[in-house]
Amino acid sequence: MNNRKLPRLLQTPAVLLLLVWMLVPLSMTLFFSFIRYVLNNLRRPEWTSPSIDNWRGFGNYDFVLHSKDFLFAIQNSLFIVGSILFLTVILGVLIAILINNAFPGRGIVRVLLISPFFVMPAVNAVLWINMILDPVLGLQGIAIEGINGVIMSLKDAPIVGWFFSLWPTLEPISFRATQTSAYAVIIMVTWQWTPFAVLIFMTSLQSEDQQQKEAAVLDGAGPWSQFRFLTLPHLGRPIAIVVMIQAIFHLSLYAEIEIVSRGNGNKNLPYLIGEFANNNIGAASATGIFAVILANIVAIFLLRMVGKTLME
Amino acid sequence: MLYKNVLGLTTALTMLATGAMAADTTLTIAIVNNGHMINMQKVAEAYTEKTGVKLNWVSLEEGVLREQVASDTATGGGQYDVINIGMQETPVWGAAGWIEPLKFGADYDVDDMLPAIRNGLSHEGQLYAAPFYGESSMVMYRKDLTDAAGVTIKDNDSWENIKKAAAAIHNPDKGVYGVCLRGKPGWGDNMAFLTAMINSFGGAWFDKDFRPTINTEEWKKAISFYVDLLGTYGPPGSEGNSFNEILALYNEGKCGMWIDATIAASFLKVDGVDYAQAPNAGNPVGANWLWAWAMAVPAGTPQSEEAKAFIEWATSKDYIQAVASHPDFGWGSVPTGTRKSTYAQPEFQKAAKFAAAELKAIETAAPEATDLKPYVGVQFAAIPEFPEVGSAVAQEMAAALSGAKSVEEALEASQEAAEAIMKEAGYFE
């Protein structure tokens, strides 16, 4: 008995600290989400202090649930996370297999491939949206202007001129528009996170059983069958881990959305919280609780998935 | 919640830090990262030399500054001794008791201040923030292009004429777009321009009971005109452009005409620019906005006397002289739009070609509440809920500009969102 009590006693401070660390913010959020709490209100100054007298029940939740972009924010969160996961896993597997074999300069290629991951999210967004995707001053705008110029000059060329005069003038795409801002975020985050997937898959591929592969080759298995029946099952576990870690990170995207579109046609729950947190702390807290619920739902599915691959 | 934690921690750390240095006075000053404020850090070295007061600058981007300062001031965090705030916040925060009233000595010459600016920074006749620089809006157009196209732009021109001029100089094959206007969502971004424009069409944000009046005919006319004008004669990707983006486009020679803050004039590097007062559809409220970045003292700072003394210096005539005679700057870099005496300086008139147009624009802007516009503020409403309402509407306007929604749909969605926010804030049931 005694030799069990002592370690537990020694652990208590750490456990207590952890509990406080987690419980205080969470319970404050819960409390704020049930009261009227705004930072500034000239009509109702009593709402500006967090007091139990301003109890509101589920009123904040009701307000958030019926606010303009709530459902859209959830849909958009899932759309962004889903698309990024899909793209990074596919690109990650392909690139990892491509650079798994030895070739001259492999070290340099690997370093270059991995470097996007070390760019800070805000820098990433600013770079992409202003220097690459901008329809006038960015690479996109310059490239399209250049292509249009070449086609224009070829229209007057002899013999082939008629062919080019059938070509339409290209219009640059605005990636800050309502319809496209989500794609801009998906593009830049995929660019940033594919290296992470590549890194994990590459390490995993190195532990692939070579004897099994040789046996498969002897049995006449082609490259596709090898990939389908040996490599892909082998990558099951790392894929699950990549999906889980990335899902957690991408549910809380903020910087990219702010910089690309300021929430125009593209927002998620963290962004909605940010919008409320300017003044309405009650609503922001209620949104926070919704975000916790959403994250838990996603986590339950992902944990099941990971658990399943670990069991196999 | 993490944000709250971090905020609490940084507050605690700063308090520790300021506590430790209390012996010799150090003022912590939160500033917006605009050119004039950045210059102030250099000019103020003389102030430290003269008075021994050390200055600790925290320079932040506009949006971040607002959020930081608002939560710090609201919770009495006491992180800052002097804060940069704008015309939207000043009357509201003054009313809430978040900032201290400012009373300066006779030397300061309060009457030298431009009346519109002074009114905009006051609550019930009392000055709550001292203006560092002020601005209105005007048309900045390329006279070489309009001359070549054979069109003219007058002061307070009609919107129809502006459209004709834009059409005449629009030449996308040569990389010149007729008109550049703000489209990036944000109450201080596209809505600053749009509100001024809507004013000129006779529209307003709220009626006298603070019910939103966004789905009105005036708004519809104004927004339809804007979407059509900018969609047809504007550069692609306008929904992403605000002040800085358009400034870059303008200086690349891509814009024929630009209606924006007067302060832009001092950054224009293109030849042949001329200025005109903002267009108007015939409404007495006018179509030019009014804004000032000002300095205020948050309530509860233990060093409020020192803070006020610093503000008195930084917004005085002496400061403007100090910038003008500073080896790195000169009359072209002085903060404008605050004092009549600045515009009376011949050196300034020579250095700033736009001075007369700017002064006229500021003087004709009317921040006071009227029957047409029953709230304080020209291109915003000075109420605490406005940033929330303004951002929600701003996104809808960007959606209308992108073509994702029709103007009617965007206005209906805006009205609904604004009503929900105002109802939530307790203005009506």
Residues B278, B412: Cα–Cα separation, whole Å: 28
Q: Name the one residue in this structure whose structure tokens are 């550049």.
A: B180
Put simply, the answer to whether B93 touches A40 (Cβ < 8 Å) is yes
The residue of chain A with its CA nearest to that of B67 is A278
Q: Which residues contact B386 (CB under 8 A, 6 or more apart)?
A: B88, B187, B205, B377, B380
- In whole numbers, what is the pLDDT of chain A averaged over residues? 89
Residue B425 has its nearest CB partner, among A43, A129, A176, at A43
Residues A58, A70: Cα–Cα separation, whole Å: 16
Query: In A50-143, where do the E strands start and end?
Result: none
Residues A249, A227: Cα–Cα separation, whole Å: 29
- Residue B20, amino acid: A
- Hey, of B1, B407, B411, B421, which one would you mutate to test binding to chain A, going by the most A CBs within 10 A of its CB? B1
pLDDT at A53 over 80: yes
pLDDT (0 to 100) of residue B21: 44
Residue B420 has its nearest CB partner, among A67, A134, A176, at A67
Please compute the mean of the pLDDT values over residues B362-379 and round it to a whole number.
87
- In whole numbers, what is the pLDDT of chain B averaged over residues? 89
The residue of chain A with its CA nearest to that of B391 is A275
pLDDT (0 to 100) of residue B2: 43
What's the pLDDT band for A267 if we cut at 50, 70, 90? very high
Of the candidates B128, B71, B58, the one whose C-alpha atom is nearest the C-alpha of residue B294 is: B128
A residues 24-43 near B, CB within 8 Å? 25-26, 28-29, 38-43
pLDDT (0 to 100) of residue B283: 76
pLDDT at A163 over 90: no
Task: Report how many helices (DSSP H) and strands (DSSP E) chain B contains, helices first.
Answer: 18, 9
Put simply, the answer to whether A25 touches B2 (Cβ < 8 Å) is yes
Q: Is A263 on the interface with B (CB under 8 A)?
A: yes
Chain B residues whose CB is inside 8 A of the A136 CB are 235-237, 249, 254
The residue of chain B with its CA nearest to that of A134 is B237
3-state secondary structure at position A22: helix
The residue of chain B with its CA nearest to that of A181 is B240
* Model ipTM value: 0.85
Both structure tokens of B279: 């267009």
Q: Counting beta carbons within 10 angstroms of the beta carbon of residue A161, is it exposed (0 to 12), middle (13 to 18) or buried (19 or more)?
A: exposed
If you ran DSSP here, which 8-state letter would residue B339 be given? B
CA A23 to each of CA A15, A93, A291, B61, B382: distance values in angstroms, whole numbers, following the listed order: 12, 40, 16, 33, 38
CA A203 to each of CA A45, A94, A115, B362: distance values in angstroms, whole numbers, following the listed order: 59, 14, 17, 64
Q: Is A67 on the interface with B (CB under 8 A)?
A: yes
Both structure tokens of B118: 């002074």
pLDDT at A2 over 70: no
A residues 73-132 near B, CB within 8 Å? 129
3-state secondary structure at position A70: helix
pLDDT (0 to 100) of residue A49: 85
Chain B residues whose CB is inside 8 A of the A261 CB are 185, 240, 398
Q: Is A150 on the interface with B (CB under 8 A)?
A: no
Least confident of A25-29, B298-302, B384-388: B298-302
What's the pLDDT band for B20 if we cut at 50, 70, 90? very low
Put simply, the answer to whether B394 touches A262 (Cβ < 8 Å) is yes
Task: Say if CB B188 and CB B292 are below 8 A apart.
Answer: no
Of the candidates A125, A69, A63, A66, the one whose C-alpha atom is nearest the C-alpha of residue A263 is: A69
Put simply, the answer to whether A48 touches B96 (Cβ < 8 Å) is yes
Q: Is A208 on the interface with B (CB under 8 A)?
A: no
Residues B76, B326: Cα–Cα separation, whole Å: 37
Chains A and B form CB pairs within 8 A to the count of 144
The nearest CA of chain B is from the CA of A3 a distance in Å of: 38
Which of A113-122, A220-229, B280-289, B389-398 is the most confident on average?
B389-398
Q: Is A281 on the interface with B (CB under 8 A)?
A: no
Model confidence over A223-232: pLDDT tens digits?
A: 888 888 888 8
Q: Is A141 on the interface with B (CB under 8 A)?
A: yes
Residues A57, A213: Cα–Cα separation, whole Å: 63
Return the H-helix or E-strand segment holding B372. Answer: none
The nearest CA of chain A is from the CA of B94 a distance in Å of: 11
Residues B299, B302: Cα–Cα separation, whole Å: 9
Query: To the nearest 10°, the Cα dihedral for A145, A150, A151, A155?
Result: 140
Model confidence over A174-218: pLDDT tens digits?
A: 999 999 999 999 999 999 999 999 999 999 998 888 888 888 888
The nearest CA of chain A is from the CA of B118 a distance in Å of: 22
What's the pLDDT band for B385 if we cut at 50, 70, 90? very high
What percent of chain B stands above pLDDT 90?
66
- Residue B173, amino acid: D
Least confident of A77-91, A140-154, B118-132, B278-292: B278-292
Chain A residues whose CB is inside 8 A of the B426 CB are 41, 43-44, 47
pLDDT (0 to 100) of residue A311: 62
Residues B256, B246: Cα–Cα separation, whole Å: 11
Put simply, the answer to whether B404 touches A66 (Cβ < 8 Å) is no
Q: How far is CA B67 from the centre of its chain?
A: 16
Top pLDDT among B412 and B72 is at: B412
Top pLDDT among B42 and A304 is at: B42
If you ran DSSP here, which 8-state letter would residue A170 be given? P
Model confidence over B93-143: pLDDT tens digits?
A: 999 889 999 998 888 898 999 999 998 899 988 999 999 999 999 999 999
Please compute the mean of the pLDDT values over residues B10-39 and round it to a whole number.
69
Residue B96 has its nearest CB partner, among A25, A40, A177, at A40
- Hey, of A17, A40, A64, A147, which one would you mutate to test binding to chain B, going by the most B CBs within 10 A of its CB? A40
Residues A14, A36: Cα–Cα separation, whole Å: 35
- State pTM to two decimals: 0.87
Please compute the mean of the pLDDT values over residues B288-313 and round it to a whole number.
92
pLDDT (0 to 100) of residue B64: 80
pLDDT at B12 over 60: no
What number of other Cβ atoms are within 10 A of residue B178's Cβ?
A: 26
Least confident of A26-30, B146-150, B232-236, B367-371: B367-371
The nearest CA of chain B is from the CA of A135 a distance in Å of: 6
Residue A26 has its nearest CB partner, among B1, B238, B413, at B1
Model confidence over B202-226: pLDDT tens digits?
A: 999 999 999 999 999 999 999 999 9
Residues B178, B172: Cα–Cα separation, whole Å: 8
pLDDT at B286 over 90: no
Chain B residues whose CB is inside 8 A of the A38 CB are 384, 425
CA A278 to each of CA B10, B81, B265, B288: distance values in angstroms, whole numbers, following the listed order: 19, 21, 32, 27
Both structure tokens of B377: 């503020």
CA B111, B116, B119: angle at the middle one, nearest 5? 75
Of the candidates B3, B124, B36, the one whose C-alpha atom is nearest the C-alpha of residue A273 is: B3
Put simply, the answer to whether B240 touches A134 (Cβ < 8 Å) is yes
Put simply, the answer to whether B239 touches A264 (Cβ < 8 Å) is yes
Top pLDDT among A161 and B42 is at: B42
pLDDT (0 to 100) of residue A310: 64
What's the pLDDT band for B19 if we cut at 50, 70, 90? very low
Residue A178 has its nearest CB partner, among B95, B404, B420, at B404
pLDDT (0 to 100) of residue A84: 96
Task: Say if CB B258 and CB B179 are below 8 A apart.
Answer: yes
- The DSSP secondary structure of A198-263, one letter per residue, reads HHHHHHHHHTS-HHHHHHHHHTT--HHHHIIIIIHHHHHHHHHHHHHHHHHHHTT--HHHHHHHTT
Query: To the nearest 10°, the Cα dihedral for A205, A211, A213, A219?
Result: -170
What's the pLDDT band for B402 if we cut at 50, 70, 90? very high
What's the pLDDT band for B366 if we cut at 50, 70, 90? confident
Return the H-helix or E-strand segment holding B141. Answer: strand B130-142
Q: Name the one residue in this structure whose structure tokens are 């913010």.
A: A25
Residue A176 has its nearest CB partner, among B1, B237, B249, at B237
Residues B310, B132: Cα–Cα separation, whole Å: 12
Put simply, the answer to whether A42 touches B95 (Cβ < 8 Å) is yes
Task: Say if CB B389 and CB B191 are below 8 A apart.
Answer: no
Both structure tokens of B395: 């996104």
Put simply, the answer to whether B98 touches A40 (Cβ < 8 Å) is yes
Largest Cα–Cα distance in chain A?
A: 98
Please compute the mean of the pLDDT values over residues A271-286 and round it to a whole number.
91
Please compute the mean of the pLDDT values over residues B377-401 and round it to a whole number.
93
Task: Report how many helices (DSSP H) and strands (DSSP E) chain A contains, helices first.
Answer: 14, 0
- Hey, of B3, B424, B429, which one would you mutate to test binding to chain A, going by the most A CBs within 10 A of its CB? B424
What's the per-residue H, E or C state across B185-239? CCCCCHHHHHHHHHHHCCCCCECCCCCECCCCHHHHHHHHHHHHHHHHHCCCCHH
pLDDT (0 to 100) of residue A312: 57
Of the candidates B151, B173, B353, the one whose C-alpha atom is nearest the C-alpha of residue B257 is: B151
